[in-house]
Amino acid sequence: MSSKKKAENYLDFVFEKNTLYEWNMDENGIVTILFENKGIFNTIAQKFLHKPRISQIHMEEMGSFIWPLIDGKASVYDIGQKVSEHFGEKANPLYERLSVYMKQLENCNFIKRV
């Protein structure tokens, strides 16, 4: 007998924000993620190249809509449904774009799978 593992569906994944990063939303609904640049190379860059200790990542309109929906409860599919309702055709191809976006956030350690 061969033991076949059932393939996981990415749309069923649930993510939560990494609590290491602070974030805020401005009056226009744009999300900014704040993170501290740590480590020896960052310290040197801060001292000699006048690089900031705290970096800011400003999300675009769709990312700013998605970010608050990442709550540790909603699946990628659920988030996609809300994106579709809000942005309509502008979001297409919806799940392909959303999956790539979520993977990028995960690769940057901004979110993690529950």
Q: Which of 86, 92, 93, 95 is nearest to 61 (CA)?
A: 86
Q: What does the pLDDT read at residue 37?
A: 81
Q: Using one digit for the tens of pLDDT, what is the confidence trace for 73-109?
A: 999 999 999 999 999 999 999 999 999 999 999 999 9
Domain annotation for the chain: domains and CATH numbers: 10-31+59-113 (3.90.930)
Q: What does the pLDDT read at residue 25?
A: 97
pLDDT band at 10 (very low <50, low <70, confident <90, very high): very high
Q: What does the pLDDT read at residue 41?
A: 86
Q: What does the pLDDT read at residue 22?
A: 94
pLDDT band at 4 (very low <50, low <70, confident <90, very high): low
More confident residue, 3 or 87: 87
Q: What does the pLDDT read at residue 3?
A: 54
Q: What is the dihedral angle through the alpha carbons of 73, 75, 80, 85, rounded to the nearest 10 degrees?
A: -40
Q: Which of 9, 14, 11 is nearest to 113 (CA)?
A: 14
Question: Residue 7 pLDDT > 80, yes or no?
Answer: no
